[in-house]
Amino acid sequence: MNYKRHNILFLTTRQWNPGDEFILKGAVNIIKQINKDFNAVIFNRHPEIHPNAKIPNPFRRFQKNLKGHTYWGPFVRVGAKDNSFIAQDDDANIFSLLVVAGSPGWPNPASNTLYKYALAHALPTVFLGIGTPYENFSFEGLRQHAQRQLENALVVTTRDSRLANALACVAAEQLPCPALLSASTARQVERVATIGFAIGHPSAYTQGVSKSIYELTKHALLKLQQKYRVKVICHFYDELPGLLEDIGSDCEVFYSYNSEEYFHALNECDLVVGTRVHAIGAAASLGIPGVFVAHDQRADTVKGFLAELVDPLDRPESLVERVELVADSVVERSSNLALHKSETSRRYHEKLTGNAALMAIMR
């Protein structure tokens, strides 16, 4: 059935990782280039909603209350009541399009039920700027449903070169992560007065960093604080106590449950340094240059944000030197980001509008 207003399904997480929500904003903005009016619905890959288990808990698929569930339901996790789509096998297909964007979590077991649903309903799909999920990735190593979904996809783009090569069999093209297009506006940075440090903490049980990377980054922060105002940006609540204890008495530490607030916090900075890939991406979208502290395989993603990439384990003092280098050229780098963002938007638009089947669906 054709509806007057399209319903578009996005694979993402909510209230788990603000970086995923930056990616989501960028993906929505990309789709708005070809159709401004649609209902955005999410499949929430949050591990509390869809745990990464190879055998999913069947109780999560109940949508009606069962007798006595108030007492025993919390122990077996009945239902998934977070105002998102849970992809039951017998659900009617109200969607025009599935959008899978940005995150390296796209092939996790939690997504398998979504791909199974999409295949059963022949739901047209685009993959926008997806990342390499693990070190030894291969197309052949994917689960069957993810393989078939990629093979049937109308558009496949990746945010790093390694994944683009691995997915050459489905004509994947490398383009920057959609997070680059997350902010609606950008500014020209004229000088560096405030540096934002978006850093993880080794005490985190979600996405912490190693103690060595953390200590080197903190050392650079304290050294640069002698010359610049420094603001620490914390993405996960479980890192907040550690950051407050270690750095909170020396400088401001920002955290919010609301991913929208990070754009305001980042926009108060003139340069962003850190271990958070998508803090660098959201800052780039705002026109703010970044320096990324390499600590895992996702580092290649920040090249799409024109960020400086530093491995401080090679030479500890290199991080401070590189930040100073970027600060000295911040005007040119900020200008280049504006052009790069515009060019990336154009390339995504060209990629989508060049697909006749997709344009027939979205007209």
Adjacency order of strands within the sheet including 290-293: 252-254, 229-233, 194-198, 271-274, 290-293, 308-310
Cα 116 from Cα 89, distance rounded (Å): 8
pLDDT at 86: 83
Percent of the chain at pLDDT above 70? 91
For residue range 114-171, what is the model confidence (pLDDT) as tens digits? 999 999 999 999 999 999 988 889 999 999 999 999 999 999 999 999 999 999 999 9
Q: Do domains 6-179+343-362 and 194-328 have the same CATH topology?
A: yes
Alpha helices in the chain (DSSP H): 18-32, 69-76, 112-120, 144-152, 161-166, 211-224, 240-247, 260-267, 277-285, 318-328, 330-353, 356-362
What is the dotted CATH code of the domain comprising 194-328? Answer: 3.40.50.2000
pLDDT at 134: 86
For residue range 34-74, what is the model confidence (pLDDT) as tens digits? 998 899 999 999 888 777 765 666 666 666 666 776 666 66
Give, in order, the Cα–Cα distances in Å from 5 to each of 47, 51, 69, 357.
31, 32, 37, 18
> Is 253 within 8 Å of 237 (Cβ atoms)?
no
pLDDT at 352 over 90: yes
CB atoms within 10 A of CB 161: 12
Cα 207 from Cα 200, distance rounded (Å): 7
- pTM, 2 dp: 0.93
| Buried/exposed 226-259: b ≥16 CB within 10 Å, e otherwise | eebbbbbbbbbeebbebbeebbeeeeebbbeeeb
pLDDT at 228 over 70: yes
Going from N- to C-terminal start, the domains of the chain cover 6-179+343-362, 194-328
pLDDT at 80: 66
6-179+343-362 sits in which CATH class?
alpha beta
